[in-house]
Amino acid sequence: MRNICLSSAYLAPVEYYSEIAKADVVFIESHDYYLKQTYRNRCIIAAANGQMALSIPVEKASGEKILTCDVRISDHTDWQLNHWRSIESAYNSTPFFEYYKDDLLPFYEKKWTYLMDFNLEIQSKILELLNLNTKIQLTGEYKNMLDDTSPDLRETIHPKKENQSVNFNPYYQVFDQRYGFQPNLSIIDLLFNMGNESIFSLTHIS
């Protein structure tokens, strides 16, 4: 049995979901200290003008450490409307946007208080759309020790730490003639472009 530990993530990159696809049980860390500029509150999509980072604004007490499970989403901006408009603009011409948009749009209409709740709910929907049945389990306390068969990937998959050892299989992307294949974008890039074949791409990443 392969167990892994991952950080919470917003529409995580393809590498993140490929690890889920290869695992039997995934522990999602909820009691780590929240870190800025990670996938916890951001994703990267392929827009017409190149890669675009979408970040969820969060409330954070200045100078104080806060657990990821306690991080609140800021309601001072129209981030949901802005994110959905960006997603729609980037992917409305993909083969499967119309097929999946009604599954994802509700996440950008409901008000959310905690970042962790939003991430878990949208992740659950993504797993459903991918037909992935991996067991997802929240950690009850900060997971300091994992055995040799349980990789700790909490900080490995990071927007500023490109993993050179991962081989991504190119798949069709709307803007590939303009930018070439762009690996490890948000899982929605794979889903909107490849539909139900997405799972095959995930399981063939080495």
Q: Is 80 exceeded by the pLDDT of residue 18?
A: yes
pLDDT at 204: 79
pLDDT mean over 106-118: 97
Contact 40, 119 (CB under 8 A): yes
- The fraction of the chain above a pLDDT of 70, given in percent, is 93
pLDDT at 74: 95
Contact 203, 197 (CB under 8 A): no
Q: What is the pLDDT of residues 27-47, one digit of tens each?
A: 999 889 898 899 999 999 999
Q: What is the 3-state secondary structure (H, E, C) of the chain?
A: CCEEEEECCCCCEHHHHHHHHCCCEEEEECCCECCCCCCCCEEEEEECCEEEEEECCEECCCCCCCEHHHCEECCCCCHHHHHHHHHHHHHCCCCCHHHHHHHHHHHHCCCCCEHHHHHHHHHHHHHHHCCCCCEEEECCCCCCCCCCCCCECCCCCECCECCCCCCCCCCCCCCHHHHCCCCCCEHHHHHHHHHHHHHHHHHCCC
Task: Determine the Cα–Cα distance for residues 84 and 56; give it in Å rounded to an integer.
Answer: 12
Q: For residues 176 and 64, which has the higher predicted lDDT (pLDDT)?
A: 176
195 phi/psi in degrees, rounded to 5: 60, -135
* Domain ranges, ordered by start, for the chain: 3-203
Task: Determine the Cα–Cα distance for residues 121 and 28; give it in Å rounded to an integer.
Answer: 13
What number of other Cβ atoms are within 10 A of residue 63's Cβ? Answer: 5
Q: What is the pLDDT of residues 61-105, one digit of tens each?
A: 666 789 999 999 998 899 999 999 999 999 999 999 999 999 999
Q: Return mean pLDDT, the chain.
A: 91
Q: For residues 206 and 77, which has the higher predicted lDDT (pLDDT)?
A: 77
